[in-house]
Amino acid sequence: MLAVAVLALIAALITSPTANAGAGSNKPDRHRKPTIVLVHGAWADSSSWSDVVRRLQRDGYTATVPPNPLRGLPGDSAYLSAFLQSITGPIVLVGHSYGGAVVTNAATANPNVKALAFINAFVPDQGESVVQLAAEKPGSALAVADPTAVFTLVPYPGAAPGDFDLYVLPSVFGTAFANDLSAADAAVLAATQRRVALSALTAESGPPAWTTIPSWYLVGTADRVLPPAQQEAMAQRAHSHVVTVNAGHLSMISRPKAVSDLILAAARSTG
């Protein structure tokens, strides 16, 4: 009986005028605050955006942080694209690190995405991969001949030959990913990291959304994962509005105000 009652309640909510007020609104998009969708990168989860979300909410924005599956660039992008279809009205789509590659692919078919924001992010062109971009400029902890110097490689069920789940070694996490955070915070982040499939980082990107959607880019000058010079090169290629901040790779944790301010600038451009 409880299950029947719950289903009836859901059906009532779906069909009620109040529940569908947003979808049926005649209010022009230019007068609506955009929904801000934040996409985390590899070895992270949605909580990495917590401080940024608080700031965006204080400014009256709806912010949502869908989980990034981290299983493969085509599948991760398709997952995000489907999620975006559930949002009515304008969207500002934000990606950090590997999440930038996901955003680049997921936004291409959605006219509601009015602005992109990249935070220490990979911004690939068609045919490029995250691994390729990380190694193009010197200074990335990921660009090593022996991957076991950086990662623990873990087999997973159903993996293609040569594919593994990657976990960043705690020592590398502290010195490269969280170099501007406390040792205690770095240790917690290393212990709670989510794995990413190697194939996600080597997959070739599809047609990029940044060729048609205006973008903003935050460059972290102390980043030891994605070299600042490479960040600047990708931002210039995408014709992004660039902000430079003295921050490591996890700038949304170490410099949430600077990150929030850049996202708000992108959001206000849609009004």
**What does the pLDDT look like over 188-215, one tens digit per residue?**
999 999 999 999 999 999 999 999 999 9
Please state whether the predicted TM-score (pTM) of the whole model is above 0.75.
Answer: yes
pLDDT at 31: 64
Which strands make up the sheet holding 113-119, listed edge to edge?
A: 63-64, 35-39, 91-96, 113-119, 215-220, 241-245
DSSP-based three-state secondary structure for 187: helix
Q: Between these two residues, 2 and 79, which has the higher pLDDT value?
A: 79
For residue 259, name the pLDDT band (cuts at 50, 70, 90): very high
What is the arithmetic mean of pLDDT over 77-105? 98
Give the Cα separation of 46 and 60 in Å (integer).
20
CATH number of 32-268: 3.40.50.1820
For residue 271, name the pLDDT band (cuts at 50, 70, 90): confident
Q: With a cut of 70, say whether residue 8 has pLDDT above it.
A: no
Rg of the chain's alpha carbons, rounded to an integer? 19
pLDDT at 23: 36
What is the arithmetic mean of pLDDT over 97-120? 97
Give the Cα separation of 118 and 210 in Å (integer).
10
Q: With a cut of 90, say whether residue 171 has pLDDT above it.
A: yes
Domains of the chain, residue spans? 32-268
Give the Cα separation of 62 and 88 in Å (integer).
12
What is the arithmetic mean of pLDDT over 237-246? 98
The mean predicted confidence, pLDDT, of the chain is 91
Q: With a cut of 60, say whether residue 21 has pLDDT above it.
A: no
For residue 90, name the pLDDT band (cuts at 50, 70, 90): very high
Identify which of 92, 93, 120, 117 has the alpha carbon closest to the alpha carbon of residue 251.
120
